[in-house]
């Protein structure tokens, strides 16, 4: 058995560039898997630095040096972030608290509706089944409420950490943007010499990751704002909260859109019932989702995403299970990375040529 493994290793990893690529990928995977929570601020800073690198490079075309361009871009970014936290988040939190307060009323209305079903359809629906269903829903709500309450208290303990992150992340972003070339050269010095395949994979992935992050942020803003206007003009309750959820749902391809439709439909149903307003809202919401899938996504990700939908869903499930939110966010780039590695992996003929040499 050991001899077979040794023979397989010699045949597959005879090329030192291939060994270096494998070791770098394995090292990166283990580092993120073992220290992902500790390095979360670094990942946030890297993502945002990738996002802001394009406007920095654009300003440098006007003969501004990188330090000045970084200062201008970071000032605008921090101003927008402060506006979002002070102008948008309070409304979202207020509507979220209002929704939590209204949940018992919604539950009572749903319970009253379910109780009438056996009377309306005695041959199809069993009253005992309805009673068990109502009891299970009540128990689930009570358990969820207790979890949310305990989670809220634990979140209060992390406020100090969030304040520290709010300071550290912008600082790291400034240095990453301002000293990009210096940091890149310093990192390259620590890499092994036989890194031809690793450089090939990185060059293929670098532009795609940048395009993906920029496109995903633009998609979140477009979908969230468009959905908010639809909900606001149709006077749907909790419009800001639901619009934020719809905007963030684009982070999870296919699955997110289906999942966020449930709370939108439930809120609209309890507000209007099965009326024309409910139908109009769901139709307008469906148009936004259709435009996102058939117009916005092809325009933003035509070059960054070239994967089959089944592969994307599998990537979301696998990487989301491994790394949570960041695994979901980078599911498509990570799947593209796997594809790039497979494309760069030498064929049997190339490996045989290396062995003969």
Categorise residue 32: left if φ over 0, alpha if ψ from -120 to 50, beta otherwise: alpha
Q: For 166-214, how does the pLDDT look when each residue is reduced to its tens digit (9 = 90+)?
A: 788 888 888 888 888 888 888 777 777 777 777 777 777 777 777 777 8
Judged against a pLDDT cut of 90, whether residue 227 lies above it is answered with yes
When pLDDT is cut at 50, 70 and 90, the band that residue 283 belongs to is very high
Domain boundary among 176, 193, 210: 193
Asked if the structure places residue 287 within a domain, the reply is yes
Average pLDDT in the chain: 76
Report the 10 Å Cβ neighbour count for 129.
12
Among candidate residues 41, 73, 79, the one with its CA nearest the CA of residue 59: 73
Asked if the structure places residue 29 within a domain, the reply is no
pTM, entire model: 0.72
d(CA 208, CA 304): 5
pLDDT score of 228: 92
The answer on 155 and 131 residing in a single domain is: yes
- Three-state DSSP at 299 gives helix
The answer on 249 and 346 residing in a single domain is: yes
- The answer to whether 355 and 11 are in contact (CB under 8 A) is yes
Range of the domain at 319: 195-357
Total number of domains constituting the chain: 2
């Amino acid at each position: 058995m050991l001899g077979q493994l040794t023979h397989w290793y010699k045949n597959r990893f005879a090329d030192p560039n291939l060994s270096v690529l494998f070791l770098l990928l394995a090292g990166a995977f283990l580092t993120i898997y073992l220290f992902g929570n500790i390095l979360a601020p670094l990942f946030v800073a890297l993502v945002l630095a990738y996002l802001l690198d394009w406007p920095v490079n654009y300003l440098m075309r006007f003969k501004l040096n990188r330090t000045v361009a970084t200062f201008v871009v970071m000032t605008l970014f921090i101003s927008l972030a402060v506006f979002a936290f002070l102008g948008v988040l309070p409304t979202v939190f207020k509507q979220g608290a209002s929704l939590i307060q209204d949940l018992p009323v919604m539950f009572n209305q749903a319970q009253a509706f379910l109780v009438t079903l056996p009377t309306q359809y005695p041959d199809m629906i069993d009253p005992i089944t309805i009673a068990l269903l109502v009891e299970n829903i009540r128990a689930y709500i009570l358990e969820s409420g207790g979890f949310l309450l305990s989670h809220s208290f634990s979140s209060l303990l992390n406020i100090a950490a969030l304040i520290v992150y709010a300071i550290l992340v912008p600082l790291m972003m400034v240095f990453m943007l301002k000293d990009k070339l210096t940091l890149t050269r310093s990192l390259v010095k620590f890499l092994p010499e036989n890194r031809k395949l690793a450089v090939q994979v990185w060059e293929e992935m670098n532009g795609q990751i940048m395009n993906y992050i920029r496109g995903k942020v633009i998609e979140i803003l477009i979908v969230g704002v468009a959905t908010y206007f639809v909900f606001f003009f149709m006077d749907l309750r909790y419009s800001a909260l639901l619009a934020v959820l719809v905007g963030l749902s684009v982070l999870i391809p296919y699955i997110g859109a289906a999942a966020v439709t449930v709370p939108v439909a439930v809120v609209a149903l309890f507000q209007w019932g099965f009326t024309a307003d409910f139908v109009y809202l769901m139709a307008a919401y469906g148009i936004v989702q259709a435009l996102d899938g058939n117009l916005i996504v092809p325009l933003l990700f035509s070059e960054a995403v070239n994967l089959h939908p089944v592969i994307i869903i599998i990537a979301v499930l696998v990487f989301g299970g491994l790394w949570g939110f960041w695994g979901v966010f980078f599911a498509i780039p990570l799947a593209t990375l796997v594809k790039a590695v497979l494309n760069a992996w030498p064929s049997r003929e190339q490996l045989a040529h290396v062995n003969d040499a």
